[in-house]
Amino acid sequence: MPVHLLALAAHRDDVELTCAGTLLKARDAGYSTGIIDLTAGESGTRGSAELRGQEAQRAAELLGVTERLNAGLPDAYLQNTDAARKVVVELIRHFAPRVVILPYPVGRHPDHRIASELGRDACFLAGLARYNAGGSPHRPHKLLYALAYREDPVKPTFVVDISEQFARKMASIRCYASQFDGARNAGEIFPTGQDLYSLVETQNAHYGSLIRTRYGEPFYTDETVRVDDVVALEGQSM
Ligand SMILES: [Zn+2]
């Protein structure tokens, strides 16, 4: 079943941390959404792959996604190989999304970097009629890179206002008790002394402040964003 918006990331919980608000906002607007987790989390320090699977399913229900699938690629050993691309191409073709959210190409965890490149390559290859993988050819219209928690000197191309979705985003993150209860950092999120949930709140409030709203999620696109109505542009300049 095709979805409008698909989020792809290395680990279960990555999507919740970086773009759950945007997935919820799309769902609220009547669009269908989906998630691909590339790995099952078998190499994680906390919890087990089985437990993380149950947590991910509960989070997916809260996010209202049409389907959440796992690529079963090796956690902490993710590689952008022919074999891995074939697996991801088949999943992209399955979801046939118009827009795909990928991890930002720079990351502390090597899986995050590889997931970005592997996801982008698979989105391209999925459109090749003669690429040797299952499913019908489909190339997504647009790729968005989730920029949350990155400190690299790139300005977000845009920030999505998730003020109305923020409480539900936090509920989806709280599904991962095995990962986050008592935690003070995770993935790309560095510790500040706060517990992780309050740290996520601080970060999302910061992104929101960039567009003069309570909470936001930042994204980057390679291509320039087209605007048709400059008079309606939000975000006070002075
Ligand atoms: Zn991760």
CA of 98 to the centre of ligand 1 (A): 24
pLDDT > 90? residue 217: yes
Sheet holding 67-73, edge to edge: 67-73, 33-39, 5-9, 99-103, 142-146, 216-220, 158-161
The confidence band for 1, taking pLDDT boundaries of 50, 70 and 90, is confident
Tell me what pLDDT residue 141 has.
98
CA of 184 to the centre of ligand 1 (A): 15
CA of 114 to the centre of ligand 1 (A): 11
CA of 138 to the centre of ligand 1 (A): 27
For the segment 65-80, the average pLDDT, to the nearest whole number, is: 97
pTM > 0.95: yes or no: yes
Question: What is the share, in percent, of the chain residues with pLDDT greater than 70?
Answer: 100
Tell me what pLDDT residue 76 has.
93
Q: What is the mean pLDDT of the chain?
A: 96
Q: Which has more pLDDT, 88 or 235?
A: 88
CA of 48 to the centre of ligand 1 (A): 15
For the segment 206-230, the average pLDDT, to the nearest whole number, is: 97
The confidence band for 214, taking pLDDT boundaries of 50, 70 and 90, is very high
pLDDT > 90? residue 78: yes
CA of 134 to the centre of ligand 1 (A): 27
CA of 109 to the centre of ligand 1 (A): 7
CA of 68 to the centre of ligand 1 (A): 16
Tell me what pLDDT residue 5 has.
98
Tokens (6 digits) for 97: 């999304």
CA of 99 to the centre of ligand 1 (A): 21
CA of 187 to the centre of ligand 1 (A): 5
Question: What is the share, in percent, of the chain residues with pLDDT greater than 90?
Answer: 88
pLDDT > 90? residue 63: yes
CA of 203 to the centre of ligand 1 (A): 17
Could you write out the DSSP letters of every residue in 198-235? HHHHHHHHHHHHHTTSS-EEEEE-SSPPP-S-GGG--S
CA of 233 to the centre of ligand 1 (A): 34
CA of 236 to the centre of ligand 1 (A): 34
CA of 14 to the centre of ligand 1 (A): 5
CA of 178 to the centre of ligand 1 (A): 14
Burial of 58 (0-12, 13-18, 19+ CB in 10 A): middle
| Alpha carbons 89 and 139: distance in angstroms, whole number | 10
CA of 132 to the centre of ligand 1 (A): 29
Residue 45, classed as helix, strand or coil, is: coil
CA of 82 to the centre of ligand 1 (A): 22
For the segment 70-90, the average pLDDT, to the nearest whole number, is: 97
> How do residues 139-176 score in pLDDT, each as one tens digit?
999 999 999 999 888 999 999 999 999 999 999 999 99
The confidence band for 74, taking pLDDT boundaries of 50, 70 and 90, is very high
Tell me what pLDDT residue 131 has.
96
CA of 13 to the centre of ligand 1 (A): 7
| Continuous H helices in the chain | 14-28, 49-63, 82-95, 110-125, 166-174, 177-180, 196-210
| Alpha carbons 78 and 76: distance in angstroms, whole number | 6
For the segment 199-216, the average pLDDT, to the nearest whole number, is: 97
The confidence band for 187, taking pLDDT boundaries of 50, 70 and 90, is confident
The confidence band for 47, taking pLDDT boundaries of 50, 70 and 90, is confident
Contact criterion met (CB below 8 Å) for 62 and 175: yes
